A and B are shown apart, each in its own frame.
Chain A
């Protein structure tokens, strides 16, 4: 039986964590993800779960402890945001290269500076090449559902990679919204027990982890790790299908919203997608053929699949809630534009930077983009060379 509830995004993922009851959680608090270790330690204190919570002195330590715990054979979890994720940088790569299926809740927040606590994807986007899987959510429901699916993907023998489950700071993490929860039992049955083949605490096997590899071996090791990321694609879809069977909610690499016959499309990640959907419904009523491709899985990057879904569009705006500081646009823009080129797509493409550091995005803002896309397809570029949404400018 589905349970109708209302809760914030942080409460929702913490509820899923409580249902999963992972073995170990090392964590250091940082806004806006602080509530997650808070809620988890409350569940531990109340005797609801038996997760071992490790208070650490920094995020470098929380990730290091997570690596040790996961290598020892424990199902491991942590949570962070922004500068906390940045402080983990070095060890993120260690977790991935040692093939440790750690789950990390990332509540997306701007990296400094200027110092800001609000939603932006610069933190997880900065870690996009660290070898971690990355799944993003539009709302509390998706954050909850992604959390339940995360270990199944990460721990799959063909994958064995750590996973970031991302949601937008404050916009979903602190907003109370309706949600449909699953009962504990089906969640436990779905996630299952973690039984790794090799782990440091296995009594009948000696094992070494974290090797030094000379040049004749290191490149091959990295190629093998890249294969795990590619393998994750099938696993993500398989797990989504199984999840649909217990929840009735279907997931893929991305969601296509009224995209099938769309001539003008937006591509975006996270909470702004709900706002975009409202704008689409409004414009569709006026007869405009507009649609959205909402990216759920960013790592592995489903470039070919996305390009396919967008193939028939006349003009596409790729939305990045993250400045690339490369003079060329944002990460989603760069990667998807490349994928569209490979797929020989003929659409006009513009990459828009939006919503930095919590800058609000309204239905009206989105309508304005679609109107400009129509012009762009007709050969008139009203976006300029380096478009920022809602920027005050001379």
Chain B
């Protein structure tokens, strides 16, 4: 029986790897908290935000959750701090701060 993505780690022996390292399930990025890589952090300034949602499609890591047509707080578990959302926001409602 092929292993699930969450069962594969640096102790997995070669016989247990999936064929061609294919992954046959969705949303496996949830298993890996790339937010840990972040050196600078975007901060959402809610008062300035017009909820235009332009930042959402620009985010390469899908780290801006949307609920009922409104964005919510960043998913800092996966946000790598690239800062694209800061450039995308027409209302200066996102600022970068140094560090996590």
Q: Do chains A and B touch in the complex (CB under 8 A)?
A: yes
Of B10, B14, B21, the contact of A211 (CB 8 Å cutoff): B21
Q: A65–B6 Cα gap in the complex (Å)?
A: 31
B22-A160 in contact (CB<8A): no
A97 touches B20 (CB 8 A): yes
Binary interface encoding of chain B residues 1-17 relative to chain A, with 1 for a CB under 8 A from any of its CBs, else 0: 00000001010111101
Cβ distance A149 to chain B, nearest Cβ, rounded Å: 22
- Smallest Cβ distance from B17 to chain A, in angstroms? 5
Chain B nearest CB: distance from A97 CB in Å? 6
A residues in contact with B12, CB < 8 Å: 217, 220
CB-defined contacts of B22 to chain A, threshold 8 Å? 98-99, 198, 207-209, 211
Q: Is A203 an interface residue (CB 8 A)?
A: no
The reply on B24 being an interface residue by CB < 8 A is yes
The answer to whether A206 and B19 have CB atoms under 8 Å apart is no
Closest to A96 in B: B20
Residue of A nearest to B13 (CB): A220
How would residues 67 to 107 of chain A score, 1 for a CB under 8 Å from any chain B CB and 0 otherwise? 00000000000000000000000000000011110000000
> Are A99 and B20 also in contact (CB < 8 A) when A206-B25, A206-B26 are?
yes
The reply on B23 being an interface residue by CB < 8 A is yes
Residues of B within 8 A of A217 (CB): 8, 10, 12, 17, 21
A57 at the binding interface (Cβ < 8 Å)? no
Q: Tell me whether A198 and B14 are in contact (CB under 8 A).
A: no
Is the interface on chain B under 10, 10 to 19, 20 to 34, or 35 or more residues? 10 to 19
A residues in contact with B13, CB < 8 Å: 220
> Chain B residues near A208 (CB, 8 Å)?
22-23, 28
A150 to chain B, nearest CB (A): 19
Are A206 and B20 in touch, CB under 8 angstroms? Answer: no
* B15 contact set on A, CB distance < 8 A: 224, 227
Partner of A207, one of B8, B10, B23: B23
Tell me the minimal C-beta distance from A324 to chain B in angstroms.
30
| Partner of A206 from B8, B10, B17, B24 at Cβ < 8 Å | B24
Q: Tell whether, in the assembled complex, residue B10 and residue A224 are in contact, meaning their CB atoms are under 8 Å apart.
A: no
Q: Is the CB of A223 closer than 8 A to any CB of chain B?
A: yes
Give chain B nearest CB distance to A14 CB in angstroms. 30
Complex interface: chain B residues within 8 A of A209 (CB):
20, 22
Give, as a whole number of angstroms, the nearest-CB distance from A204 to chain B. Answer: 11
Residues B24 and A220 in contact, CB atoms below 8 Å apart: no
**Hey, which chain B residues are within 8 Å of A100, CB to CB?**
20
Check B24–A160 contact: CB distance below 8 A.
no
Q: When chains A and B are docked, how far (Å) is the Cα of A220 from the Cα of B9?
A: 12
A216 sits at the interface (CB 8 A)? yes
Contact surface of A with B, Cβ cutoff 8 Å: 97-100, 160, 198, 205-209, 211, 213, 216-217, 219-221, 223-225, 227
Jot down 12 A-B pairs with beta carbons below 8 A, ordered by A.
Answer: A97-B20, A99-B19, A160-B20, A205-B25, A207-B23, A207-B24, A211-B21, A216-B10, A217-B10, A219-B14, A221-B21, A223-B14
* Further pairs besides A207-B23, A211-B21, A224-B15: 13, Cβ < 8 Å: A99-B19, A160-B19, A205-B25, A206-B24, A207-B22, A213-B21, A217-B8, A217-B21, A221-B17, A221-B20, A224-B17, A227-B14, A227-B15
The 3 A-B pairs at the shortest CB distance, nearest first, are namely A220-B14, A206-B26, A99-B20
